[in-house]
Chains A and B, each alone.
Chain A
Amino acid sequence: MNFRQSLLMFCIAVAVAVAVVPVFAADPANLNIHIGIEPPNLDQHSIFRDETIPLMNLLFEGLVRSDGKGGYVPGMAEKWEASADGLEYTFTIRKGATWSNGDPVTAADFVYGLRRALDPATASMYSYILYPFRNAQAVNEGELPAEMVGVRAEGDKVTYTLEHPTSYILSILAMPFAMPGNRDFIEPLGGDYASDANLLVSNGPYTLKEWRHSDRLVLAKNPRYWNAEDIKLDTITVYVISDSDDAVDLFLEKELDLVDVPDHYLGDFEARGLAGPAYSDGAVFYLEFNIRDPVLSNSKIRKAIAYALDREALVRDVLANGSLPAMSVVAPSISSGAGGFYRDLVPQHFNDHDVAAAKALLAEAMLELGVERLPPLTLISDDGDRMKNISTLIQRMVRSSLGIDVRIQSLPFRERLERMYDGDFQIILAGLGPDYDDPMTYLEQWSTGGLFNFSGYVSAEYDRLIGLASAEADPEERLAHLEAAESLLMEDMPIAPVYFRMRNWAHQADVTGIVRRSLWPDPDLYRAEKTRK
């Protein structure tokens, strides 16, 4: 090899090294994740999309924080106590609690935060979750001034007053809407608050370092955070990627550390040994019947359809991801409010695939309705593959077991929602996820005027049971009321539960400490760590 040849080889080697080196120089303490939408804003008090909540959990901190195991640990508060009647909670703000601009976090910031979240002018989408606080609903509806909401500050103590004893109040206080607000920072900005990296002040483990809209957000560890030594990542880069297949591709190229695995990739991920354990996101999927319909007004028809479904086959053959058959409404991952999980204490309410009972009910119903043959029923579902497959299977099950013809109408998501909100359907396939850690988050929906009660279901007895449970301070008594309510709901069957959804996700092998759960924030990255190479 002469000199010129060696020089050429050397140059090629350098060029290759320059091209390859960036891979090995990867930053050890940066986590790459993605979010499916460009955040509408990052205003802790007026969140519009659930997708931003994992970010709020990193940027902000409430009085308490999820411990990742179902409980709550001190956050901005160092301790708290509840009054004997369960109507007052007093929190002591920890010393050294600081905003990212250096201002101290005070009890008054929490008072301001709650008032701001409920102020009609803020127009917060999820403010109804705060209605357990005294007068919160009236304030939110503009009937009372914001000062009337049940919260007050004295020194370093902030005291919340509740409408009813609310055992799950900590899970609400951990949510962004109940987080503090830095009034001096927010008020001068008005509507521009939290619309850019420099227009946000935070008090959580991370600060917003950069926000390239529709592209990425960079969160940097907040050195002023009281527990900064337990925060193991220097930065978290959040890419805005709306296409879930793109996210999967980037994950497979190791450019993302965490990804939700879409159905059609699950087999591939399992084959490569990448799929993490499925987890319950708390969502229950069900058929909602329109009780205003002359045929479906008969509860025996509704029950016949509910009993006829073979959920076991459905979760095995169509979902095939660990989802569970639902013969009740409250998902297995929800606490009972009296210790342990509700579903462990309260068994499901009827048998799956009970065709004999279904046929008997149908026969009785036909007699009551005075018909020989039922007209075909229309089932509305979303137009995604999964929902279409589920509705097709339901169609087949109902026809083979009961001889009822079901027509399927698949609609785009928003259109399906509008039909549901307008009550313009016979049967609709819908899902409901939990807002807070209590069976009530599902059960209150079907009381008269309940938010998800699109069926037209009205039962004085059901309303009474929900009312009793709301007002009951004793956990055991309350649980009994909740159980009775759920049981009645499954007797009247305005909705026929189908399955409790499980979700599939994956993370890179060098990442630990990510918590997936059925309640906000999901995913919880507070304890995430990354050890690369």
Chain B
Amino acid sequence: MSLFSYIMRRVLISLLTVFVVVSITFFLMNLMPGDPFIGNKAVPKAIKDNLYAKYGLDKPLFERYLMYLGNLAKGDLGMSMTYKNQKVINVIKQAFPVSADLGIRSLIFGVIGGLLLGVIAALHHNGPWDTTATLLAIIGVSIPGFLIGTLVQYIFGFLFSNVIKDVFNTTYQLIPIARWEGFRYTLLPSFALGFSSLALTSRMMRTSMLDVLHQDYIKTAKSKGLTPLQVTWRHTIRNAILPVITVLGPMTAAIMTGTFVIEKIFAIPGLGKFFVQSVQMYDYTMILGLTLFFSTFLIFMNLVVDIAYGFIDPRIRLAKGKA
């Protein structure tokens, strides 16, 4: 079986998975007691009826389900019930690039930084570098992102800006603490969001490296006279990185589709808030659209990871040919 047919099979299974996810979400969501059109004011029943009719909520559940699937087949995710004139697909199109932008920055910071830290820590096992890296990792794993976010906001928005104010007599913010305007604005949120990935990656990399370093083939590599760099690069990292690659799929999907807390703290117009808000507001079409989007993205990232295995470790053969 070639790589192509392997991918095709995975895509078919993925489609089925997404279908099941959407169906379960549809019915679970409709079990929630609540009304998408509840506002600050009570409105007459006739107006409620008009709204229900406009969004097709006056029809029986199963008919709505079939209608939704029919529209889905045509690529139509429907209109949001909270953002009345917005198509769900447009909301995703507008907000996802922002979240993805922030997510990629955080991943670059978190994964590359984490790998570096992990490698350095392992190579200097029990030395001061190791202690520092482990300490950072523990901080990163145990302090949640919103606390780190608030902390850096305090440091840069208050302490640092007070220094600037004293020295230059201006309220100009070199590193702004909120909003999404340009490169300067991406620094703090990328740091806050990427910090836990950094911690996780470095811990995994360190453990995995230590494991590999005790293997016989490392001794062999050393004894056949390879330079330390060659040993580390070709034999240690390449073998140690696999567990990190495994978590990278779900991590990428989770970070790139937006995080509610970090985006809220830094006032970033990303996708994160819609996940929470759509459930709070009973925005049925939005809940379904986002579930569909997220599950597809997650499945896709996992597929990418599986394929990446094959390139990094030739021993892993995705397409099991006949022996």
Interface residues of A (CB under 8 A from B): 16, 19-20, 22-23, 38-41, 43, 46, 48-50, 120-128, 137, 140-142, 191-195, 212-215, 239-243, 246, 249-250, 253-254, 414, 417-418, 421, 451-452, 454
Contacts and interface: CB of A to CB of B under 8 A. Distances in A.
Given A128-B44, A239-B179, A123 B86 contact: no
A46 B84 contact: yes
B174 interface: yes
A495 B38 CA distance: 22
Contacts of B35: 418
A334 to B, nearest CB: 17
Given A22-B172, A213-B269, A452-B42, A127 B85 contact: no
Given A19-B174, A38-B83, A40-B82, A421 B42 contact: yes
A163 to B, nearest CB: 15
SS class of chain B's interface: helix, strand, loop or mixed? loop
Contact of B47 (A39, A124, A249, A414): A124
Given A214-B269, A414-B38, A249 B157 contact: yes
A120 B50 contact: yes
B274 to A, nearest CB: 8
A40 B42 contact: no
B30 interface: no
Interface in B81-122: 82-86, 90-91, 94-95
A23 B35 CA distance: 47
A474 B234 CA distance: 95
Interface of B: 33-35, 37-44, 46-47, 50-51, 53-54, 79, 82-86, 90-91, 94-95, 157, 168, 170-174, 177-180, 264, 267, 269-270, 273, 280
Contact of B85 (A20, A191, A249): A191
A137 B35 CA distance: 23
A108 to B, nearest CB: 24
Nearest 10 CB-CB pairs, A to B? A195-B85, A215-B269, A41-B85, A214-B269, A123-B50, A123-B54, A141-B46, A40-B84, A120-B50, A123-B51
A133 to B, nearest CB: 15
Contacts, number: 117
Most buried by B among A126, A214, A215: A214
B87 to A, nearest CB: 8
B264 A48 contact: no
Nearest to B263: A214
Contacts of A243: 264, 267
B42 A20 contact: no
Most buried by B among A39, A213, A421: A213
A214 B39 contact: no
A140 B42 contact: no
B51 A125 contact: yes
19 contacts: A20-B168, A41-B83, A48-B84, A49-B39, A50-B40, A125-B37, A125-B47, A140-B46, A140-B47, A142-B50, A195-B83, A212-B269, A214-B270, A240-B269, A250-B178, A414-B38, A421-B38, A421-B42, A451-B42
Nearest to B46: A141
A192 B89 CA distance: 13
Given A243-B264, A418-B35, A194 B95 contact: no
B172 A19 contact: yes
Given A127-B47, A141-B46, A250-B178, A418 B84 contact: no
A501 B50 CA distance: 33
A3 to B, nearest CB: 26
SS class of chain A's interface: helix, strand, loop or mixed? loop
Given A142-B46, A212-B94, A212-B269, 9 more contacts: A40-B83, A40-B84, A122-B50, A124-B50, A125-B51, A140-B50, A191-B85, A242-B273, A418-B34
A125 B37 CA distance: 9
A452 B42 CA distance: 7
A121 B86 contact: no
A451 B44 contact: yes
Most buried by A among B46, B50, B86, B178: B50
A23 B51 contact: no
A19 B86 CA distance: 39
Contacts of B82: 40
Given A141-B46, A214-B94, A20 B170 contact: yes
Contacts of A454: 42
Contact of A120 (B53, B86, B170): B53
B38 A193 contact: no
B158 to A, nearest CB: 10
Given A22-B172, A40-B83, A40-B84, A125 B39 contact: yes
A449 to B, nearest CB: 9
Contacts of B172: 19-20, 22-23
Contacts of A213: 86, 91, 94-95, 269
B43 A126 contact: yes
B42 A123 contact: no
A95 to B, nearest CB: 32
Contacts of B90: 195
Nearest to A454: B42
A50 B35 CA distance: 18
Contact of A121 (B54, B168, B264): B54
Contact of A43 (B38, B53, B85, B170): B85
B39 A48 contact: yes
A16 B85 contact: no
A240 B179 CA distance: 10
A241 B266 CA distance: 10
Contact of A417 (B38, B177, B267, B270): B38
A371 B50 CA distance: 47
Contacts of B46: 120, 137, 140-142
B50 A195 contact: no
Contacts of A240: 269
Nearest to A241: B267
B54 A125 contact: no
B85 A214 contact: no
Contacts of A41: 83-86
A249 B178 contact: yes
Contacts of B264: 242-243
Contacts of A192: 85
A223 to B, nearest CB: 27
Contacts of B43: 125-126, 128, 451
Contact of A23 (B33, B84, B170): B170
